[in-house]
Amino acid sequence: MRETNVAFEVMSRLTFPEATARAREALGKEGFGVLTEIDVQATMKAKLGVEVPPYVILGACHSPSAHQSLTAAPEVGVLLPCNVTVSVEGGRTVVRAMNPGSVMGIIDNPELAPIGEHVGAALRRVLEACEKA
């Protein structure tokens, strides 16, 4: 698993549809609900007439953690939900998840650190489920 300042990332052997389904399933097992889904490929085609490879953004929410975060720092709402993306890049399926620990770290509130760690660990497990297919 690769980690950047904003995301965790894995390459998956699954096809795009399989990885998308696996991500949804793994999110559910970790207690996340998918609040939004953006089909970037369809949106780019409809709005710009541009053909792009498959790319979906799943807006995932772990409600207990979101509640704790919003209670501690209402401005954290601009960072929610935790986005998980599935895309095809260079012919390979890539699955990414927001790194809540580092992203929420930009808000100077120590109450957010354990929440970010907890959610981050869950999102890593989601990505591992997509990678180990």
CATH number where 8 lies: 3.30.310.70
Query: Could you list the mean pLDDT of each consecutive 10-residue stretch along the chain, which spans 133 residues?
Result: 94 97 98 98 98 98 96 94 97 97 89 94 97 78
| Domain count along the chain | 1
pLDDT of residue 97: 98
pTM of the model: 0.94
Can you give the chain as a three-state secondary structure string? Answer: CEECCCEEEEEECCCHHHHHHHHHHHHHHCCCEEEEEEEHHHHHHHHHCCCCCCEEEEEEECHHHHHHHHHHCHHHHHHCCEEEEEEEECCEEEEEEECHHHHHCCCCCCCHHHHHHHHHHHHHHHHHHHHCC
Range of the domain at 110: 2-131
pLDDT of residue 133: 64
